[in-house]
Structure 1
């Protein structure tokens, strides 16, 4: 459900820790982080489709309602959480290997890429927010692993509690707040230049406001990813089978329950329900994400990933794929490309997301065979590492 200042669904992709800034040969990489990143990329696209297509969650009926419920129960909040944890995992490895100077240079490069993405393609960019909030890790990563976990718990609990208290305060006088009128739409016949000018006027406020509002929750997830990196959870999952089993046994069912609550809230369409949906979405998303990490981690540890291995190629070129998703979907749905914004329901949007996301798997594999990396990944590495 659309609500004030929610976490934008999208994402930056963390690099796999390595001894060298250049990509390692495929056989030397641990496949689990790439598979998780690739799966998360598909899940993020599914959730982003509401924004791309412009349908209203609380107005879906029939098959569209069923598709929206499926999205809320299985996807919503989960994959943005996986991506944020992977970002912290990669940032911790980069800082340990290369030091603060290159760490800052990489974040400034990501800020530039994300800013261009926001201005020229899509207002839901998350790369620039990650780049700004991630600078906090310069201080946080000096902490020991246990301290990182404590900091993550404190920040996450405080952010969720603040969201609950805010919703309760508004619930005390619901008559003062109307039902949502719907997603912001485009001006009739709005030209591309007009849309870009509007985004430029909003950019700084959106970036700073999003970083301040979402910052505590993002830092909590970054710290969880950094702690996972220090433990070797993703690189050596076979050494952490009991933890992965607990993640799966607790995270999957609890995430499904909270996803069901979110699906119910998203049928209501009022302001208070939108506020309550924010902590429900993100808490359910986190526990569900840990459940998915547990399940996929167990499969990886036992060498039984099967078809999931195909997601590794998409995960290795995740930033390029994420930007491609924005380019394609805004072309399909936004009126300056001749499309009809708000004409698709949740079922058709879900089918398109799954179809395009799965198509990116063989395309990513082909790109890796031909070029060894994606264009966005190549550009970022070129700027950050120079000629090395």
Structure 2
């Protein structure tokens, strides 16, 4: 054991805080304080404990700190079905598993799993018990290009059929590629087709410009207009994303995470328009939430991410929480579109953050706010593991580890040393679906 490792280990053992009961989280809630944006990450998309702890902490934030929304790394139209369900405006009866039915794109287990089902059921019951404003559930991602365009047309068909006709004409620019946005991106980037950027932008601008008249005297609520406007924004950004895929990972990654923070901003503005203050819990992978400026993502690849952008927009109101594990099992696929499998997670590499935390204890959290002793112990650059929906143990060092400065990425860190695989709702959780994004090799 090196001297720096030994010194850091002594500090972290002294500073670790228990993570067993709800009462144990009271000190974490105190650390969060008045933050209005609490970003809760995960070291993989297939670990039961990461989902469980995130749901537990989110319930406490809603009950004790009045958080008004949960925003997740999921497609906007899929998540909006959940929003309707938890707020009592759904035709899915009282069945959360049915309400999760729009999550059909690979990997379905990411949201169609037992923990999310139980959380969504709890949120519906919580909202039903309240007379005041209710907690919403929203998606931040942008893969649903065609579903979002269809949703815009469907909304306009109900409020203004002539406007729906204009929307169809604009979106017809994408028709020759069917529901294959990657083919569209390839054709436009290689000069075989004129980009549909202007058409997508014009549709968004029309919705925004006509917002007052579209809701004036209409039976549909301003929530439904907001849903349609966000779908139009998604279509514009997804069009850019699928073209950028063929320029390189950095360009498409930055468009995607910028879209996520734009969606957060839209949620804030929507609440403000109703005279309310938005307080949002965000669920996403550590790679999206751990500030990119404190990792090789930022200093080597010029990537930005949602955590960085949220801190930049709301520097005094953002609190970022990461989650890590040392070993155990994970639900993941060997390759894109392959079935999800329960796979063994190898022990953290020597010298990695996971190996250091393994020597600290089994289940705990650390306060990494500037000036804390634990933060001072984690200011050195070290490897950190990121497992998405694909896990490649044979090339784990190159496929899943990135150099980071943990104290710069997170305000708090939860570590659960040995973890279990997520339990999906579908036996065939790894079936291929349309509109597959390009996240290879890490699938985050």
Greater C-alpha Rg? 2
Of Structure 1 and Structure 2, the greater strand share is in: 2
TM-score, reference length from structure 2: 0.29
Of Structure 1 and Structure 2, the greater helix share is in: 1
TM-score, reference length from structure 1: 0.32
